[in-house]
Amino acid sequence: MSSFHVHVTEVSAPGAERPWLTIRRVLSAESAPCLSPVLIRLAERHRQIACGRRLPLDKQCRACLPVITVTEVRRTTA
């Protein structure tokens, strides 16, 4: 499982429903080696890459599957 801790800052105009700027900062990232690497072929060369770089989320191994934890959300008006 890949684990990411993220800090989010949203800047919005006064009275607006949605922020016009969202800043996401990754505070820490931890990952483990892929459990089921995918074989890719390019110009007669073969190479194995982590399934997290190639497959959709529902087909990734549990080592590559990202878990994102938002540690803090700061909302400001500008």
CA torsion sign for 71, 64, 50, 39 is: negative
Compose the 38-57 pattern: x for residues touching Zn ion by CB under 5 A, - for all others: ------------xx------
Burial of 60 per CB tally in 10 Å (0-12, 13-18, 19+) = buried
| Site map (CB under 5 A) of Zn ion, residues 11-40, x = contact | -----------------------x------
Region binding Zn ion by CB under 5 A among candidate stretches 21-29, 40-48, 61-69, 70-78: 61-69
Q: Taking phi first (over 0 means left), then psi (-120 to 50 degrees means alpha), and beta for anything else, what does residue 52 get?
A: alpha
Closest contact distance (angstroms) between CB of 34 and Zn ion is 3
In whole angstroms, the minimum distance from the beta carbon of 14 to Zn ion comes to 45
